[in-house]
Structure 1
Amino acid sequence: MASYVLIAVHYGTQTKRNEEISAKIGRAKDWAKFMPSTWLIWTGLSPAAWFDRISPLLAKNDTLFVAEVTYNWKGRVPPNVAEWVERGRTDDMDGE
């Protein structure tokens, strides 16, 4: 069953790999990027699977946080991201 997963990266080095990370995240069923290195994705994969995919792209001093997000959320996000969440998703969407 698909769920929302939050992926956040903090770069402890000068090497930022957002393009490579975005390419991996682009394989999810759907996604929204609402901060320079933070994505909310709709996926059938576990947070652990996403961690395993993204962590090899990061340097030793970089930080990666991946967590499943329930629909019961609160936050201040750009209107397009709030609309993206409210629009809802289905399990039969293409992607991982």
Structure 2
Amino acid sequence: MNQFYVISVSWVPGPANLTDVEAVELCIQRFGDWFRFSASTWLCWTDVGPQALYGALRTALDARNNFLVTAFDPYQWSGWGPNVLEEWINERKLKLISN
């Protein structure tokens, strides 16, 4: 069953460049749907667990970068962002309800 995860990267030694961001996106697109919230944060909708995401990202990113893969509860969140973010979450949340 699909689940939401947040992937957050702390780019070392400094801000991400386009190659870094593309590396994450190429990696996570293999596992499901995703939404980039910022240059260092993605929501991922996938049927694999956090360990699989971690393993793939570990090989795709420079070893100096730090990152976290954690579950995201679509029923317990609050924040401010573009409307498309809330729409993206709600569309997938409906799939959770229907399963």
TM-score range (shorter-chain normalised) is 0.7 to 0.9
Find the aligned partners of 1:29 and 1:61 in 2 and give their Cα distance.
Answer: 26
1:84 matched to 2:88: yes
4+ residue runs over 4 A deviation: none
Task: Please give the per-residue CA displacement for 1:61-92, whole angstroms capped at 9, x wherever unaligned.
Answer: 3110100111222222221111111122547x
Unpaired segments ≥5 residues, structure 2: none
8 A Cα contact 2:32 2:45, kept in partner: yes
The one-letter amino acid paired with 2:11 is Y
Aligned-partner SS, 2:42:
strand
Alignment TM-score, normalising by the size of structure 1:
0.80
Residue 60 of structure 2: aligned partner:
57
Unpaired segments ≥5 residues, structure 1: 92-96
Residue 94 of structure 1: aligned partner:
none
Residue 3 of structure 1: aligned partner:
3
Aligned-partner SS, 2:43:
strand
Residue 74 of structure 1: aligned partner:
78
Structure holding more helix per residue: 2
Residue 12 of structure 1: aligned partner:
12
Q: 1:24 aligns with which of 22, 27, 30?
A: 27
Alignment TM-score, normalising by the size of structure 2:
0.78
Cα offset for 1:6? 0.7
Query: Cα RMSD between the aligned structures?
Result: 1.9
Aligned-partner SS, 1:74:
coil
